[in-house]
Structure 1
Amino acid sequence: MLMQMVEILGPISIITLIGFLMGRSSVGLETRTLSTVVILVATPALIFHTLISMQVTPDTIRTMGGAALVCISVSGLLGLAALLWLGGPIRSFLPALMMPNSGNMGLPLVVLAFGPDGLRLGIAYFFVVALMQHTLGMWIYSGSINPKTLLRQPLIYSVLAVLVVTFTGVPVPSVILVATDLLGGMMIPAMLMLLGASLATLEVADLRPALLVALGRLLFGLASAFMAITILGLQGPVAGIVFLLSTMPTAIVIYVFAERFQQNAKQVAGSVVVSTALTFICLPLLVWAALTISSETGAAARGAPHSQTETFTDSTRFGH
């Protein structure tokens, strides 16, 4: 188990450290351009290629997407209750409590902990989180709801393309598959480098709210994960991946929105830093818990006559 942890956490730490050092050095890292490429090009390409090439079923998309919605909803309700109780600014800290960093940190962990086939489950979860961050998260900070925001997200069009191919059986030209494979391949390392570079520039302006938000994000993530696993009856690798992705720290994009709409940006930035640091400290325990949940619930599912998990795991053989 120890060597497995090193193999999972080592690459993530190294690539994040490279981004951090580049962000601190005179060389610098053009995070704005790189993040734009990741959001507009690499992420939609990875989602399209992964879901198409691995022939993800509509049931898998519904289950992982539903789990993401449950986790975000539970975290949001718990976060709202905590902020009302403590008298904290809701528009500033509610998105930080409910929106996990399932992309920069979550997807690399899923790939390394559950193998390449686990990526399709992680992607089906992540795209819902990303859409919620760029719609609901932005709406909370801006103070207004604009449905047109959803239509400007490339993620939604990549998912729509996947659904069209899945339900119609239209063949995808090999040139499209190769192109999206190459473009999507840069997403995970680029995200980790962006994470490191962003942490190099963010500062903790006020430690107390940063600590409270960081602890809240972790605790609410744990609570939402167990509720989603219980409510949806998730088992095996599906349960482990949902647990891992829901317990990730506050997403860095939340700080971007806080700064854009002038909602205590410095305190939100501090929350992102402390939340990420806390998660890094807890990563060995979180990964161990995810693998344990996957193993124990998977064993229980295999002992049952037939379960929902078999629908998703029969065609998903993990490398670890």
Structure 2
Amino acid sequence: MLIQMLDILLPTLAITAIGWVMKRFGVDIEARTVSTLVIMVATPALIFSTLTGLQVPVETIGMMAGAALFCLGLAGGLGILALKLIGGPLRSFLPPLMLPNSGNLGLPLVVLAFGEEGSRLGVAYFFVVALVQHSLGLSIYAGSLRIGALLRQPLIYSVLAVLLVTWFAIPVPQVVLTTTSLLGGMMIPAMLLLLGSSLASLQITDLRPALLVASGRLVIGLISAIVVIAVLDLNGAAAGTVFLLATMPTAIVSYVFAERFGRNPGQVAGSVVVSTLLTFACLPVLIWAALAISDGAGLHW
């Protein structure tokens, strides 16, 4: 299992480190442009090409989407409870506690850990997280419900296209599959490079809230993953995928929204950095646990 863990861990760390080194040596990865390209083009293309090209059943999409919503709901409830106990501002720190970085870090890990099966399971989970981040997450920071933001996301239309193709067995032309596969292929390396570059530029302005949020994100992720795997009786690669994606660190998009709406952006940036570093330190254990869960019978009450 050690070799398998290294095969998963080292490529992820290497690509992230390249992004970090590039930023440190003055080669700027323009975050706004790259993130927009990833969200508006690469991610919808990856969702469509993966879920249609691999012929993922609607039942599998529903199972992973339901698991994602369950995990996010639990994480949100636990995050609200934790912030009420410590007196932290909900609009600043609920999204960092609730929303994991399932894209930049989680998706590459499950693809490396579980191969083609991990790709289709991970994508079916990740698109829900991405939609929630850009609708509910945005609304929390804005202080008002932003349904329009959700309707402007190409992600939702790529998912609808997948469901139509799957339900009605519509044949997808090879040129469409090839095009979306090529576009989607840039998502994972681009997100890892962006993660490394962002870590090199974000600053920790206040260590105490950063440590609290980082620790809380990991604990909340672990609790939500274990509960969801047990309640939904998941096993195999599905259980391992849910475990990894639910335990990922605070998503960088939380800092983007915090800066945009003036919700303690410096402290949120610090929580992103510390949470990511904490997760990197715990990655060997998290990967080992995910592989062990997938090799066993899952978690049961």
Q: TM-score, normalised by structure 1?
A: 0.92
Counterpart in 2 of 1:284?
Answer: 284
Q: Distance in 2 between matches of 1:26 and 1:66?
A: 42
Could you tell me whether the CA contact under 8 Å between 2:117 and 2:237 is conserved in 1? no
Counterpart in 1 of 2:156?
Answer: 156
Structure 1 unaligned blocks of 5 or more:
302-320
C-alpha offsets along residues 231-254 of structure 1, whole Å, 9 cap, x if unaligned?
211111111110010000000001
Q: Name the SS for the 1:134 alignment partner.
A: helix
Counterpart in 2 of 1:239?
Answer: 239
Counterpart in 2 of 1:14?
Answer: 14
Counterpart in 1 of 2:61?
Answer: 61
Counterpart in 1 of 2:265?
Answer: 265
Q: Name the SS for the 2:297 alignment partner.
A: helix
Large movers: runs of 4+ above 3 Å: none
Q: Name the SS for the 1:170 alignment partner.
A: coil
C-alpha offsets along residues 81-112 of structure 1, whole Å, 9 cap, x if unaligned?
11111111110000000000000000100011
Counterpart in 1 of 2:145?
Answer: 145
Counterpart in 1 of 2:71?
Answer: 71
Counterpart in 1 of 2:84?
Answer: 84
**1:44-59 aligned within 5 A:** 44-59=44-59
Q: Distance in 1 between matches of 2:175 and 2:262?
A: 44
Q: Distance in 2 between matches of 1:239 and 1:231?
A: 11
Counterpart in 2 of 1:178?
Answer: 178
Counterpart in 2 of 1:118?
Answer: 118
Counterpart in 2 of 1:251?
Answer: 251
Q: Distance in 2 between matches of 1:222 and 1:44?
A: 28
Q: Distance in 2 between matches of 1:173 and 1:8?
A: 33
Task: Report the AA paired with residue 35 of structure 1.
Answer: S
Could you tell me whether the CA contact under 8 Å between 2:138 and 2:146 is conserved in 1? no
Q: Distance in 1 between matches of 2:44 and 2:122?
A: 14
Q: Distance in 2 between matches of 1:280 and 1:81?
A: 26
Cα-Cα RMSD:
1.1
Task: Report the AA paired with residue 264 of structure 2.
Answer: N
C-alpha offsets along residues 187-211 of structure 1, whole Å, 9 cap, x if unaligned?
0000000000011110100000000
How big is the shift at 1:146? 2.2
Counterpart in 2 of 1:305?
Answer: none
Task: Report the AA paired with residue 245 of structure 1.
Answer: L
Q: Distance in 2 between matches of 1:220 and 1:297?
A: 23
C-alpha offsets along residues 32-55 of structure 1, whole Å, 9 cap, x if unaligned?
211111111000000000000111
How big is the shift at 1:224? 0.2
Q: Distance in 1 between matches of 2:65 and 2:71?
A: 10
How big is the shift at 1:229? 0.8
Q: Distance in 1 between matches of 2:31 and 2:90?
A: 28
How big is the shift at 1:59? 0.7
How big is the shift at 1:149? 1.5
How big is the shift at 1:27? 2.2
Name the count of aligned residue pairs: 300
Name the stretch that deviates more: 12-21 or 31-40: 31-40
* Percent of pairs with identical residues: 65
How big is the shift at 1:25? 1.6
Task: Report the AA paired with residue 182 of structure 1.
Answer: L
Counterpart in 2 of 1:215?
Answer: 215
Task: Report the AA paired with residue 170 of structure 2.
Answer: V
Q: Distance in 2 between matches of 1:28 and 1:152?
A: 28
Name the stretch that deviates more: 166-175 or 248-257: 166-175
Counterpart in 2 of 1:100?
Answer: 100
Counterpart in 1 of 2:34?
Answer: 34
Could you tell me whether the CA contact under 8 Å between 2:136 and 2:146 is conserved in 1? no
